[in-house]
Amino acid sequence: MKVAPSLLSCNFARMGDEIIRIDKAGADLIHLDVMDGHFVPNLTIGPAIVAAVRPFTALPFDVHLMIDYPLDYIDAFADAGADIITFHIEAMSDPLATIDKIRSRGVKPGIVIKPATPASDIFPYLDKVYMVLVMTVEPGFGGQSFMADMMPKVTAIKAECARRGLDVLVEVDGGISEKTVGAAAAAGVDICVSGTGVFKAEDAAKAIAALQASDRKV
Which residue numbers are catalytic?
Answer: 33, 173
Q: Which residues, numbered 17-56, are part of the site for Zn ion (CB under 5 A)?
A: 33
Residue from the set 54, 68, 100, 144 that interacts with ligand DX5 by CB under 6 A? 144
Taking CB within 5 to 8 Å according to partner kind, which of ligand DX5, Zn ion, none is near residue 175?
A: ligand DX5
Q: Which stretch binds ligand DX5 (CB under 6 A): 98-106, 139-147, 159-167, 180-188?
A: 139-147
Q: Which residue is nearest to ligand DX5 (CB)?
A: 195
Say if residues 80 and 46 touch (Cβ distance below 8 Å). no
Question: Is the CB of 33 or the CB of 36 nearer to Zn ion?
Answer: 33
**Is position 215 an interface residue for ligand DX5 (rule: CB under 6 A)?**
no
Residue pair 29/62 in contact (Cβ under 8 Å)? The answer is yes
Residue type, 206: K
Residue 59, classified by CB atoms within 10 Å of its CB into exposed (0-12), middle (13-18) or buried (19+), is middle
Helix (H) or strand (E) holding 143: none
CA angle in degrees (0–180, nearest 5) for 190-3-192 = 50
Binding flag, residue 175, ligand DX5 (CB under 6 A): yes
Separation of alpha carbons 192 and 14, rounded Å: 24
Shortest approach of ligand DX5 to residue 74 CB, angstroms? 18
How are the residues of the chain apportioned to helix, strand and coil, as percentages rounded to the nearest 5?
45, 20, 35
Query: What sign results for the dihedral spanned by CA atoms 180, 184, 190, 194?
Result: negative
**Is residue 171 a contact point for ligand DX5 (CB under 6 A)?**
no
User: Would you say 107 or 133 has its CB closer to ligand DX5?
Assistant: 133
Which residues contribute to the site for ligand DX5 (CB under 6 A)?
A: 6, 8-9, 31, 33, 64, 137, 139-140, 142-144, 173-176, 193-197
Which residues contribute to the site for Zn ion (CB under 5 A)?
A: 33, 64, 173
